[in-house]
Amino acid sequence: MNKTQEFIKVNEDHWECLCGNDTMDIGFFPCDNKGDCKEPDSSWEGLYSCQKCGRIIEPETYKVIGINSNAKKYDDFIN
């Protein structure tokens, strides 16, 4: 598989995922390395997930490190 590394688009604190979701849309939420939303506690690795497509984002580099379209979303998390 010859897949180029994906990055989200960032303009200061405004993030835009490759799927079109952005900070002003449904946004991003802290997640674990499988893309499931979680509380940003001491076990949190600092990753964020796109709440639309499930891409997992490393916030220091804005690199897409994975995708989990069946991940636990924020809505599942709060209910």
Give me the amino acid identity at 60.
E
Residue 42 CB, nearest approach to Zn ion (Å): 27
Strands 63-67 and 55-58: antiparallel
Distance CA 37, CA 60 (A): 18
Please state, in angstroms and rounded to a whole number, the distance separating the CA atoms of residues 1 and 28. Answer: 28
Contacts (CB under 5 A) with Zn ion, residues 7-66: 17, 19, 21, 50, 52-53, 55
Closest to Zn ion by CB, 25 vs 32, is 25
Closest distance between Zn ion and the C-beta of residue 77, in Å? 17
> Which residues here bind Zn ion, judged by CB under 5 A?
17, 19, 21, 50, 52-53, 55
